[in-house]
Amino acid sequence: MTVVLNHTIVHAHDPEASATFLASILARPSPGRFAMFHTVALDNGVTLDFLGTDEVVLVEHYAFLVSEPEFDDILARITQRGLPYWADPGRQRPGINRNDGGRGLYWCDPDGHVLEIITRPYGSG
């Protein structure tokens, strides 16, 4: 039997805005709708399903493996929006990291979820 991640729920105060934010930064198609969710589809068949809540949103971390050209494109969209980004998940070092011979960075979505792009999987260098 093969086990693969199919979807995960991302809690947000404004799920449509948060899904649209992520889709636009990652250059994904506009979010879809499934029941009460606003969904962002990734290339491996996984969806991030944004669900609205009025409660305190616990901050989660979502990491995306991208190619070098995609990294440049995403960084350009982050920079164009004036979003701060960091080389570390603790948000102590502004900029880009060079872990495992690739590049990576972290930024936050409207609810404070920590988003990450990397060009090499951790441990691959």
Q: What was the pLDDT predicted at 1? A: 77
Q: What was the pLDDT predicted at 96? A: 98
C-alpha 88 chain-centroid distance: 15
pLDDT digits 0-9 by tens, 83-106: 999 999 999 999 999 999 999 999
- Segment 28-49 mean pLDDT: 97
Instruction: Show the domain range for 24.
Output: 7-118
Does residue 124 lie in a domain region?
no
Q: Could you tell me the pTM of the whole model?
A: 0.95
Q: What was the pLDDT predicted at 58? A: 95
Does residue 2 lie in a domain region?
no
Does residue 125 lie in a domain region?
no
Count of structural domains within the chain: 1
How many percent of the chain have pLDDT more than 70?
100
Does residue 123 lie in a domain region?
no
Measured in degrees and rounded to the nearest 5, phi and psi for residue 66 equal -130, 165
Domain of residue 88, CATH code = 3.10.180.10
